[in-house]
Amino acid sequence: MSDSDKGPAPSLKPVTVSLPSDVNYLDVARNFVSDIGQKVGLSSSEIHDLQLAVTEAVTNVIEHAYSGDTEQRIDLAIERDGECFVVAITDTGQNRFDPTAHPDPDLKEYLSQCRVGGLGLYLMRKLMDEVNFTSDERGVNQVKLVKHIKQ
Give the footprint of other proteins on this chain (CB under 8 A): 16-20, 23-24, 26-28, 30-32, 34-35, 44-45, 48, 51-52, 55-56, 59, 62-63, 73, 75, 107-108, 111, 114-117, 119-120, 122-123, 126-127
Minimum CB separation of residue 99 from other proteins in Å reads 16
- Of residues 6 and 150, the one with the C-beta less far from other proteins: 150
Minimum CB separation of residue 3 from other proteins in Å reads 26
Quote the CA–CA distance of 24 and 14 in Å, as a whole number: 24
Minimum CB separation of residue 82 from other proteins in Å reads 25
Task: List, in sequence order, the alpha helices (H) in the chain.
Answer: 3-6, 26-39, 44-60, 107-112, 120-127
Tell me whether strands 130-135 and 73-81 are parallel, antiparallel or unpaired: unpaired
Minimum CB separation of residue 70 from other proteins in Å reads 11
Minimum CB separation of residue 32 from other proteins in Å reads 5
- Of residues 4 and 45, the one with the C-beta less far from other proteins: 45
- Of residues 48 and 144, the one with the C-beta less far from other proteins: 48
Burial grade of 89 (CB within 10 A; 0-12, 13-18, 19 or more): buried
- Of residues 82 and 140, the one with the C-beta less far from other proteins: 140
Q: Give the SS3 label for residue 147.
A: strand
* 76 beta partners: 17, 89
Sign of the four-CA dihedral 45, 147, 81, 87 = positive
